[in-house]
Amino acid sequence: MKQLRKKVKETNPFRNRKMIAIFMYTICFVLFASIFMRFTWIMVRGEVNGEDLHLNVEKLYTRNNVLQARRGTIFDRNGNPIATDATTYKMVAILTDEWSSPSRPQHIEDPKAVAEILAAHLSLDEAEVYTRLTQDSKQVEFGNAGSNLTFETMSAIRDELAENELTGITFDESRSRLYPNGTFASHTIGLAQVTDESDDQLHGVMGLEKQYDDHLSGENGWIKYQRDRFGYVIPDQEIEEVDPVNGKDLNLTIDRRMQIFLESIVEEVNQAHQPEYITANLMNAKTGEILATSQRPTFNATTKAGIDQSWQNLLVEYTFEPGSTLKAMTLAASIQEGTFRPYEYYRSGQIQAGGGTIRDVRREGWGTITHLEGLARSSNVSFVHQVEEMGHDKWKSYLDAFGFGTQTGINLPNEANGSNPYEWPLQKINTAFGQGIAVTPVQMLRAFSALTNGGTMVEPHIVSEQTEVSEQEQIITPETAAQTLQYLKETVYSEHGTARGYQIDGFEIAAKTGTAQIADPETGRYLSGSNNNIFSVVGMAPADDPELILYVTVQQPELNTITHGSQAVQKIFNPVMKRALEYYSADSEMNSEKTYATDMPDLVEEPTQDAVDYLAENNYSYSLIGSGERVVQQYPRQEMHVDETQRVLLLTNGAMTLPDLTGWSRNDLYRLAELTGIALTVEGEGFVTEQNMSAGSFIETGTEIVVQLASNQE
């Protein structure tokens, strides 16, 4: 019985409950105390597992945004923008409903209505837009037509879609650099791009954009503020802000009018003769200001087309043997030393010197002639006589004084030194006529300036602010410089002159041509063949007191429609020098920017008929692309200078249509291609006489257009 009671007592449920309750209370107390201590610890220390909770809260509710500094604008000598900052937008259409909610759709719901609005603002027709919006894809982009959109175009599309309660179109914003002139001294101006997407900062990667990156970049600012969990800015808070310091502008010596004209002429020759390289540089002979500079290969800074062909700026990085254009310096040195006797006779054809045989371009020569005739005929033998009589050491001192083998300091990246080894006798002799020595175009410009400035060189420069010009020593006397120019007129106006084809109506010029051989890098021997040369000319005008120096080189052109490479050089030199002399002549109306060019008004968003009436009333040459009632794009753009040689292109809303191209220049055609995205094939030279599609035909990006050009004579 005792044992039974004990067993019952031990199994008493009330006692068990009490024990369990005490145990549970103890556990809860311990847990609560632990949690309390943990929260107390967190509140006191403000951190969990090494993470600062105050900092995390600040990150959650605080916004610290970078205020981007504006990159400085690059201007030409007349204040026209060459490179400027821009915010561009890329349009994307959301086609899937995966990212939408019933109350907040994000995708295209009415593709037909959306297509109608987009076609009114883009260079795409409505049917093509509708096809893109109805394809089986989650999202779709619109190629070139939907990229690099301006704020005005983006906002117009966005507002019209919102007004009609249409969804599905989004815009990605990006910073970019705008080069409104397209192919425009592209390697010299250079490029600025976002090189690191994390900071969205533009950095110069080529040309002046790279050289003056610190000057142009500025310094970003920032703004710091608090917002609530819904994303709204908390009112009455103290906002911390540091304003950005914008980059400084850069003013160049380039003249936009001459640059555009030079680019169009150089491109015509490039298309016609497909040379390895072309350089063409126009410089103010008195100040050293580069007024225009062009090269091939080049690229379009707006579209980046052609950028992979070459990153080399030929003005400062291209080293070559100049050939007979260097005889201008040999002549000046000979006159200074008294070894050039113009009416003394010598035997032309060939001469033994320096352990080798030096020959004229005409191996049998022209008989016994005067040195003045030898200059006109560009006789190598005549100039060997000059250097031999002057002495090799004396001639080397002149080469050094003219700056060959040293940089000019033009403030462009990667300027080459050139080279003048001057080691063995034959090589020393060859420098008399520009072989055995390597130069850059800018070095040649600097050397030529000694002839136009009374014997003292000026430093070529392209940035107006580049005022730190080193003092130059007098290389030759003013009398020698003037006499050299007089003799160089012989090459142009003598019956034997090699530069007779370079005469400019209404102006007298001094010039020297060159045909330089090219060394094969594999064999070290000079290449053979009538076109395997560098053909060049330097012209200084007006001859009696030059204001301009134009130096052109064309390497290995195809002799398809010409008999000699110099004819390709003439196609560049003659029209460019004539235009430049007309621009800068004191007696010409073109001397004034105001009398020659006007600022282009903003015609975008204007009714088409109003824009046409304005252009007609102000005697603009213009063409319409499309038959819409409103202008959506134009070229030239707002505030760009327009002269009488330029055609104004107006792109209207709706489908693009091809205008009548008859009489258009090659430059006009390239502008059309840039504006519309057509694939352009140009055949022949001169102006358009035929086109493969009739005027009024519908076109779109990628449409192949073939045009035939012919000269007025044809």
Domains of the chain: 65-177+216-250 (3.30.70.2110), 260-463+475-589 (3.40.710.10), 598-710 (3.30.10.20)
Tokens of 610: 């109003």
How do residues 676-706 score in pLDDT, each as one tens digit? Answer: 777 778 787 678 888 998 888 888 766 788 8
- How far does CA 508 lie from the centroid of its chain? 33
Tokens of 543: 């001859």
Query: What does the alpha-carbon distance between residue 195 and residue 206 come to, in Å, rounded to a whole number?
Result: 12
Map residue 318 onto helix, strand or coil.
coil
Query: What does the alpha-carbon distance between residue 451 and residue 543 come to, in Å, rounded to a whole number?
Result: 11
Query: What does the alpha-carbon distance between residue 479 and residue 285 come to, in Å, rounded to a whole number?
Result: 17
- Cβ atoms within 10 Å, residue 59: 11
Identify the DSSP state of 323.
G
pLDDT at 589: 38
Is residue 498 scored above 70 in pLDDT? yes
Is residue 257 scored above 50 in pLDDT? yes
Is residue 266 scored above 80 in pLDDT? yes
Map residue 321 onto helix, strand or coil.
coil
Query: What does the alpha-carbon distance between residue 214 and residue 201 come to, in Å, rounded to a whole number?
Result: 12
Q: Are 86 and 177 in contact (CB under 8 A)?
A: yes
Is residue 713 scored above 60 in pLDDT? no
Query: What does the alpha-carbon distance between residue 514 and residue 313 come to, in Å, rounded to a whole number?
Result: 22
Beta bridge partners, 365, equal none
pLDDT at 578: 93
Please give the average per-residue pLDDT across 455-470, as a whole number.
82
Strand 81-94 to 139-141 pairing: antiparallel
Q: What is the mean pLDDT of the chain?
A: 86
Tokens of 588: 């010409």
pLDDT class of 596 with cuts at 50, 70, 90: very low
Is residue 355 scored above 80 in pLDDT? yes
Query: What does the alpha-carbon distance between residue 507 and residue 583 come to, in Å, rounded to a whole number?
Result: 13
Query: What does the alpha-carbon distance between residue 136 and residue 630 come to, in Å, rounded to a whole number?
Result: 33
pLDDT class of 303 with cuts at 50, 70, 90: confident
Q: Which residue has 């005739």 as its token pair?
A: 373
Q: Which residue has 């840039």 as its token pair?
A: 674
Identify the DSSP state of 455.
T
Least confident segment among 100-109, 287-296, 328-337, 404-413: 100-109
pLDDT at 694: 85
Across 518-530, b (16+ Cβ under 10 Å) vs e yields bbeeeeeeeeeee
Map residue 404 onto helix, strand or coil.
coil
How do residues 356-398 score in pLDDT, each as one tens digit? Answer: 999 999 999 999 999 999 999 999 999 999 999 999 999 999 9
Edge-first strand listing for the sheet containing 277-284 = 290-296, 277-284, 548-555, 533-541, 510-517
Q: Are 563 and 592 in contact (CB under 8 A)?
A: no
Tokens of 368: 């016994």
187 CB burial (10 A radius; 0-12, 13-18, 19+)? buried
Query: What does the alpha-carbon distance between residue 302 and residue 129 come to, in Å, rounded to a whole number?
Result: 24
pLDDT at 666: 75
How do residues 532-573 score in pLDDT, each as one tens digit? Answer: 999 999 999 999 999 999 999 999 999 999 999 999 999 999
pLDDT at 593: 40
Identify the DSSP state of 341.
-
Beta bridge partners, 345, equal 370
Q: Are 416 and 439 in contact (CB under 8 A)?
A: no
Please give the average per-residue pLDDT across 37-63, as a whole number.
61
Map residue 509 onto helix, strand or coil.
coil
- pTM as predicted: 0.73
Identity of residue 322: P
- Per-residue three-class SS string for 683-710: EECCEEEEECCCCCCEECCCCEEEEEEE
How do residues 193-235 score in pLDDT, each as one tens digit? Answer: 887 766 678 899 999 999 999 999 988 887 776 666 555 566 6
Catalytic-role residue among 217, 324, 334, 382: 324
Is residue 597 scored above 60 in pLDDT? no
| For the chain, percent of residues with pLDDT exceeding 70 | 86
Is residue 458 scored above 90 in pLDDT? yes
Is residue 185 scored above 80 in pLDDT? yes
Is residue 46 scored above 60 in pLDDT? no
pLDDT at 642: 67
- If you average pLDDT over each of 143-157, 284-298, 584-598, which comes out highest? 284-298
Alpha helix ranges (H) inside 457-592: 478-488, 490-493, 565-584
Query: What does the alpha-carbon distance between residue 137 and residue 135 come to, in Å, rounded to a whole number?
Result: 6
pLDDT at 208: 97
**Greater confidence, 8 or 158?**
158
Query: What does the alpha-carbon distance between residue 75 and residue 65 come to, in Å, rounded to a whole number?
Result: 30
The residues, ordered by sequence, that sit 6+ positions from 675 with a Cβ below 8 Å of its Cβ are 123, 625, 633, 635, 649, 651
pLDDT at 538: 98
Q: Which residue has 């091809």 as its token pair?
A: 658
Task: Establish whether 294 is a catalytic residue.
Answer: no
Is residue 61 scored above 60 in pLDDT? no
How large is the greatest C-alpha to C-alpha distance in the chain, in angstroms?
158
Across 90-101, b (16+ Cβ under 10 Å) vs e yields bbbbbbeeeeee
